[in-house]
Amino acid sequence: MSSSDQKPISAAALQPETWTASSNDALKLFVTNEDEAINFRPVFTYPIFGDAETIYGYKDLCIFLCFDHYTFKPFLNVKFAEKLDDSDLIDIKETMMKYLPQDTIYKDEIRWVDSIKDEKEKYEIPGEKVDSFKADNLTYEIYKINLKLAQGLELHKRLQVLVLLYIEAGSFIDAEDELWDVYVLYERVEGESEPSVAGFATAYNYWRYPGSAKFDAGETEVRMKISQFIILPMYQGKGLGQAFYTHLYSYWLTKSDVVEIVVEDPNEAFDDMRDRADLKKLAETDLGFDLSKVVANNIDKVWVDETRKKLKLEKRQFSRLLEMVLLYKLKHHLGNISKPDVRKFIKTRLYKKNKEGLDGLEENDRKDKLQTAYQALEEDYFRILGDVKLGLNKRKVEAGEDQHGNNNNNNSNSSKKKKVNGV
């Protein structure tokens, strides 16, 4: 074949890196008010641009996605120096608009600013304020958004793209399903009329059969499952995530129909935050949680079950909290407690949880597996406990344990003897 028959090779094929951009770098996120625009970065863009998180065919690509701090109305603009003449290139505007509400303003920034001003003339947060708290001399308010209102549904549509950008494997909820709740956290600065969106959470009301008597009487029971939980990057590092979760938890404690509070597929960071928040919550006297009853020997199972239900915690989470309290006591030398007792207490749960797999092993292999699992869990618990303070008084703890007849010296010594040949 002669050279004249060969198709010319494009410059793009010779230098693909020039025309390839990281979608994580190309996407520029901003939250704006009248005074400033705060830039923040996405963590993930693969739900929008594919697993490789790259965009091909554009040089010096910038995708600007801006939100008003109060209404969260979005503005999208796409800029680039050059674009390849290739029909296979993705249309960035079209791709982004699949995940943004229809009222997103494209390219015309002046029109966006004017539309925000027009909207704010009558805008009110479309929901009910359910709680508020102070942090660093600022006020934070939690609103339960009314998704039956057009404005409430629209606000959620504006927020939901953050789920894709900040939650791994995150996906949109069906906000028209009446069992979904959306809670938005606002920061309110004294002297300013408009609060700023600081984060949001979604939770699903799973119906649970309450028993025939309650069902016949028309009473309902739900398991409140936290599905998505986001604090905007510029508000992170201030303890707001823990405060937001704690106040949502306290709000649900007041609801008679909510019988259990659970979390759907939490990541490690959320798990850590939740554990520390729950531990601190247990130490609050108004919950009536008796920390002195948390013992390694002969723990009152009736008390455990009644207390867990009162606190509306799932079994796994409450068991973890009890184990962390035991290690906390051990760490701070509170009460008549020994490490072998704590180790046996935790291993018992681990064995029950993994009984089917462990029973198929030889005895020594089973012990090794349990010991390895225990050591990893103990290390993780101490990491989570960190500098957590539960406000326990040594004399009070010991008096409480003696009063309840749990974990006295005889029981503890007996346990130590058994541990020599036990797991």
Using the 3D structure, point to which of 120, 136, 160 is the last residue of a domain. 120
Query: Is 230 flagged in the annotation as binding?
Result: yes
Structural domain boundaries, residue 65? 17-120
187 and 165 inside one domain: yes
Is there a domain that residue 398 lies in?
no
Identify the pLDDT of residue 7. 45
Is there a domain that residue 422 lies in?
no
Is there a domain that residue 332 lies in?
yes
Query: Is 229 flagged in the annotation as binding?
Result: yes
Using the 3D structure, point to which of 214, 230, 265 is the last residue of a domain. 265
pLDDT per position as a tens digit, 225-277? 999 999 999 999 999 999 999 999 999 999 999 999 999 999 999 999 999 99
Identify the pLDDT of residue 11. 52
**Angle, vertex CA 193, rays to CA 187 and CA 197, nearest 5:** 30
Identify the pLDDT of residue 400. 53
Is there a domain that residue 421 lies in?
no
Query: Is 276 flagged in the annotation as binding?
Result: yes
pTM: 0.88
Query: Is 409 flagged in the annotation as binding?
Result: no
Measure the CA–CA gap between 298 and 408, rounded to whole angstroms: 10
382 and 256 inside one domain: no
Is there a domain that residue 410 lies in?
no
Specify the number of domains making up the chain: 3
> Which parts of the chain register pLDDT below 70?
1-14, 285, 392-423
145 and 108 inside one domain: no
Determine which one of 264, 284, 306, 379 is catalytic.
264
Pairing of strands 82-83, 37-40: unpaired
Burial class (CB in 10 A: 0-12, 13-18, 19+), 160: buried
Q: What's the CATH number where 105 sits?
A: 3.90.360.10
143 and 43 inside one domain: no
350 and 281 inside one domain: yes
86 and 106 inside one domain: yes
203 and 334 inside one domain: no
The DSSP annotation for 175-217 comes to TTSTTEEEEEEEEE-TT-SS-EEEEEEEEEEEEE---HHHHHT
132 and 256 inside one domain: yes
Using the 3D structure, point to which of 265, 293, 312 is the last residue of a domain. 265
Q: What's the CATH number where 148 sits?
A: 3.40.630.30
Catalytic-residue membership of 82: no
Identify the pLDDT of residue 137. 86
Is there a domain that residue 99 lies in?
yes
Identify the pLDDT of residue 288. 78
Query: Is 92 flagged in the annotation as binding?
Result: no
